Chains A and B, each alone.
Chain A
Amino acid sequence: DAKTTQPPSMDCAEGRAANLPCNHSTISGNEYVYWYRQIHSQGPQYIIHGLKNNETNEMASLIITEDRKSSTLILPHATLRDTAVYYCIVSGGGFKTIFGAGTRLFVKA
């Protein structure tokens, strides 16, 4: 599975959009991009995944570049409860899921 690179931490003002980037330049054609988040002392929470097209659900939007080498997770109106570690994972649909260090997002009032 392809490796991902994320900034270690980011800040966002409450009510503003949080844009979390992820680089996955070695992604292959059948690999999906998944995003999870982990709020302190809880289990990770699945957010969204995509292959080529942009995706949106009730939690977030996922924008994948045309060459698929990077993606951005967008939380449209961040709240204090969105403070968490966000993990971007690339996987070919098999069982193995490798978590990187993730991005620690701080949402500030």
Chain B
Amino acid sequence: DTEVTQTPKHLVMGMTNKKSLKCEQHMGHRAMYWYKQKAKKPPELMFVYSYEKLSINESVPSRFSPECPNSSLLNLHLHALQPEDSALYLCASGTSGRTTTNEQFFGPGTRLTVL
């Protein structure tokens, strides 16, 4: 299985809502990533988990809370978001940590709109 799945595909939420984005991979990768992508811009790294431990937090506001329940699952909990947080949120899993290289495999993304 070489697929990374993300749910939901689309999400609309108000600024007071709490929601979660979910990501799953079954490639045996031990590194998992969250990226944020605004329109016509490249993806920006938010968080990296390695062996289910948070390895990198790129100074992301605390209204974004990542969680890695096990080696196959990655969540991003959202609370009190702002309209400027509207973006495509991409999950990836990668070979780093198991090998010396870092090929990453991306899911299709969740398109988030904050009203």
- Taking Cβ atoms with an 8 Å cutoff, the residues of A that contact B are 32, 34, 36, 41-46, 49, 85, 87, 91, 93-102
Contact = CB atoms under 8 A, between A and B. Distances in A.
Interface stretch (B11-19, B67-75, B78-86, B97-105): B97-105
A43 B101 contact: no
B22 to A, nearest CB: 15
A42 B56 contact: no
B101 A46 contact: no
B101 A49 contact: yes
Contact of A95 (B42, B48, B108): B48
Contacts of B55: 95
* Most-contacted residue by chain A among B31, B101, B102 (CB, 10 A): B102
Contacts of B4: 43
Nearest to B105: A46
Given A95-B55, A95-B94, A100-B42, 20 more contacts: A42-B108, A43-B106, A44-B104, A44-B106, A46-B104, A46-B105, A49-B101, A85-B42, A94-B102, A95-B33, A95-B48, A95-B50, A95-B56, A95-B96, A95-B102, A96-B45, A96-B48, A97-B102, A99-B44, A102-B42
Given A95-B55, A96-B48, A43 B42 contact: no
B28 to A, nearest CB: 16
B45 A43 contact: no
A41 B109 CA distance: 9
A32 to B, nearest CB: 6
B8 interface: no
B103 A49 contact: yes
B103 A34 contact: yes
A43 B103 contact: no
Contacts of B103: 34, 46, 49
Given A43-B109, A44-B106, A98 B100 contact: no
A32 B108 contact: no
Contacts of A41: 88
11 contacts: A46-B104, A49-B101, A49-B103, A85-B42, A93-B101, A93-B102, A95-B48, A95-B55, A95-B56, A97-B45, A101-B42
